[in-house]
Amino acid sequence: MRKLVVEPLETKFISRLAIFFLLFFVAVTVSTLLRMAGNASGAALLGIMMYLIFASVIGALLLFSLRRLRAREKAAAMLASSSGIENGTITFPEELEFEYGRLILGERPAKEFRAEGKGKGRSIPFMNGEFRLLITPEGEGFASFPAVKILSRPYEGVMLLFMTSEGRVVCRKSLSIPTSEGSLHLDLEGMGRTLRGRIYSTPEKTEKIRVLLGIPEWGGMEVRVAGGAIREFRYSMLPDEKTVIYAPYGALSLSGIARKLERKGVVLGHGEFLIRFTVEGHLKKRYSSRESFKVLMGENEWGI
């Protein structure tokens, strides 16, 4: 079982940018004040001083807000580093209150935690439930995870998202595309957690081929899993091991999850999936065929 911590790069960039502009503003203001000190009247100097004090107060409030935001984000890393994982159980550094349920990303609203119950304790079992994840290379998509939301300080608002490795791909199908120069075939077979595909054509030649994966209820978004001159591919529909993702609720995003998984486009999880087989033929005419398959988990046991 492995732990991943999602830390948004956007907040770090904004924090550093705000600090840079604040320091730049103070330096320019002080420099102007020193240049005017010998010639300005008392009333002008008083006005400049009041303005500087006001700007300093605003800047201090901005820095305080940024520090609080960064502290909430660091709470996820703190909880991950101080939590133990052993024999399917996550042990917290202290007794914590939490809610458990399901986190939805990418729908309307764009982020929603649907609580199903509350608990309190120093440990929780791994939530061995079904999940679904689709993230395009552009960072768009949808996700649904079993999740726990921490309610106790200093970890308040930290989310734990669960991706189980249990399940199997159920698929044994063949797709065919008639083209102007013959035909193209894709044989699909489920092998444990992996979808295996073999492409062959008649006559044999390299085509502009693409194999894309999607999810029926999230139509219009697909991730390319094979194509070009590649004739065989294997695509894992589940992680290699059970995974817990730690992240602050306010900073959760699909792009952040994809970045932590180190994949530009990803489709994972359980349920029904669509595979689309396309080829660009003569005069850029596009031929395609599609089929569905399932990833089954078996027992769905959360244990909380």
- Give phi and psi for 303, each to the nearest 5: 80, 5
Give the C-alpha separation, 199 to 233, whole Å.
Answer: 9
Answer yes or no: is pLDDT of 250 > 70.
yes
Q: Are residues 246 and 115 in the same domain?
A: yes
Per-residue pLDDT at 160: 95
Q: Are residues 132 and 275 in the same domain?
A: yes
In tens, the pLDDT along 157-183 reads 999 999 999 999 999 988 888 776 677
Q: Are residues 55 and 175 in the same domain?
A: no
Q: Are residues 154 and 255 in the same domain?
A: yes
Q: Which of 57, 74, 91 delimits the end of a domain?
A: 74
Per-residue pLDDT at 252: 85
Q: Are residues 109 and 27 in the same domain?
A: no
Looking at the whole model, is its pTM more than 0.85? no
User: Which single residue is written with the structure tokens 């960039």?
Assistant: 13
Q: Which of 59, 154, 159, 62 has the alpha carbon at shortest distance from 104? A: 159
- Report the domain count for the chain: 2
Provide the domain limits for residue 104: 1-7+75-304
Average pLDDT over residues 38-44: 62
Answer yes or no: is pLDDT of 219 > 80.
no
Query: H-helix or E-strand containing 2?
Result: strand 2-5
Strand partners of residue 227: 210
Give the C-alpha separation, 48 to 53, whole Å.
Answer: 9
Q: Are residues 65 and 84 in the same domain?
A: no
Q: Are residues 148 and 206 in the same domain?
A: yes
227: exposed, middle or buried (Cβ count in 10 Å: 0-12, 13-18, 19+): middle
Give the C-alpha separation, 30 to 32, whole Å.
Answer: 5
In tens, the pLDDT along 115-128 reads 999 999 999 999 98
Give the C-alpha separation, 198 to 43, whole Å.
Answer: 83
Q: Are residues 68 and 80 in the same domain?
A: no
Average pLDDT over residues 139-145: 91
- 41-45, 130-134, 213-217: lowest mean pLDDT where? 41-45
Per-residue pLDDT at 168: 93
Average pLDDT over residues 209-232: 83
Answer yes or no: is pLDDT of 32 > 80.
no
Answer yes or no: is pLDDT of 131 > 80.
yes
Q: Are residues 41 and 155 in the same domain?
A: no
Q: Which of 51, 74, 97 delimits the end of a domain?
A: 74
User: Which single residue is written with the structure tokens 């996550």?
Assistant: 90
Q: Are residues 27 and 135 in the same domain?
A: no
Q: Are residues 67 and 103 in the same domain?
A: no
Q: Which of 46, 74, 102 delimits the end of a domain?
A: 74
In tens, the pLDDT along 56-73 reads 676 666 666 666 666 666
Q: Are residues 85 and 101 in the same domain?
A: yes
Q: Which of 173, 255, 164 has the alpha carbon at shortest distance from 211? A: 173
